[in-house]
Structure formats: C-alpha cells, structure tokens
Amino acid sequence: MNLDAYLPILFLIVLSVGFAVLSIVAASKVTPRKWTAAKLEPYESGIVPDEGGIGERERFPVKFYLVAMSFIVFDIEVAFLFPWAVAYRDLQVFGLAAMGVFLFVLTAGYVYEWARGGFDWAE
C-alpha cells in the first residue's frame, strides 16, 4: 500500500488544525477585555427585552420568526444554486429549465411576501 498518496491529506489536516489553534490563541491575546454598555446589548434580533422578574420569559413578535424563516429559505436557495452551477454543462437545457422553474417559484414567493408586508419590521 502506497502511503505517499495520503501525505497531502495529512498535511492539510495538520495545517487546518494549526490554523484553528493559532487563530484562537491570537484572538485571545489581541481581544480587549473591557466590557462596555454597547457590548452587553442584545444584537441578534435588535429587540431590547423588557425588564421583568427572574424566570419570566420574554416574548418576541411573530415578525421576527417570519423574517428568520425567509432568511433560511433564501439561504437554502443559494445552497441549491452552487451544485447546479457546477453541473450546468452536463444538465444542458433540462437543467436550465428546472432551475428557471425553481427560481421563478422562489421569486414569486419573495414578491408575495414583500407585497404582504412580511419584510416590514415595524409593528
């Protein structure tokens, strides 16, 4: 068995692990440790939770979840476009027609959601 063929894979694994460890160590040394009010603010949804008692759950508006689901749908669309672009020459006209239908359905859904106000964040 010829182990020389596996040498590039081993080199890539060592390089990847080394880069990850070096990045974590460098970030821990360079990162400022002073906490400010801006760093303690919620950032993912932009919604500042109401002051409540301990253990009281905060409620998010439904719009937050609709926008999150829309993002996931269009993110999955991009994930389908990459393999299609790679295999475009092999698929020929059938692949072009199938992707055209796929993009038309997604665009129609996007326009419908936009027209219904699904992307308006204000209450």
Which among 9-18, 71-80, 91-100 has the top mean pLDDT? Answer: 9-18
pTM of the model: 0.46
Compute CA distances 91 → 81, 85, 97, whole Å: 13, 10, 10
| Ranges assigned E (strand) in 1-123 | none
pLDDT at 60: 64
Q: What is the pLDDT of residue 117?
A: 79
Q: What's residue 45's pLDDT? A: 57
pLDDT digits (tens, 9 = 90+) for 17-63: 999 999 999 998 998 778 777 677 766 555 565 555 444 565 667 77
Note whether 77 and 108 are within 8 A (CB). no
pLDDT band at 109 (very low <50, low <70, confident <90, very high): confident
Report domain extents, the chain: 1-31, 59-123
The more confidently predicted of residues 9 and 71 is: 9
